[in-house]
Amino acid sequence: MRFDSQGLAVFQRYKEADHVLPVTMSEIATLKQRSDLLRQRIARLDRKQQHFVQGYWQQQQLMSCATHQPLRVSDPVLLASSAPNGYWAVIGKESQGRLTVQQVLSQIHGHSCLYAPKLIELAD
């Protein structure tokens, strides 16, 4: 789902068992509402100087999904107990190269890092 600068859906489809299906107007409205809520939550986190941070365990070290480098965490035991498959995601603050975990996002059940899609950039 993609929206133009006025908030109208310009690209809308989903795939189900190798079939591409259109998205209904009610589904578009639901997705837009969810994206608006997500944007508001991100703005609140930003005001509090909190960030969504995700990572994984590799050879007894916490690795950052963003940098794929070791990450110093204030409470690594907390992440070890909440990341049975090795992947973890948290809300936290970073200061002096150390992540202070404020909330473990246990509802994210992934096996790998989540990345934003690469969007087409238009020339000016």
- Residue pLDDT, tens place only, 29-75: 888 898 889 889 888 888 888 888 888 888 888 888 888 888 888 87
Q: Over 60: is that where the pLDDT of 95 sits?
A: yes
Exposure letters 38-74 (e unless 16+ CB within 10 A, then b): eeeeeeebeeeebbebbbbbeeeebbbbeeeeebebe
CA pair distance 58, 87, nearest whole angstrom = 10
Global pTM reads 0.61
Confidence tier at 84 by pLDDT (50, 70, 90): low
- Find the mean pLDDT for residues 4-10: 70
Residue among 87, 92, 89 nearest 74 (CA): 92
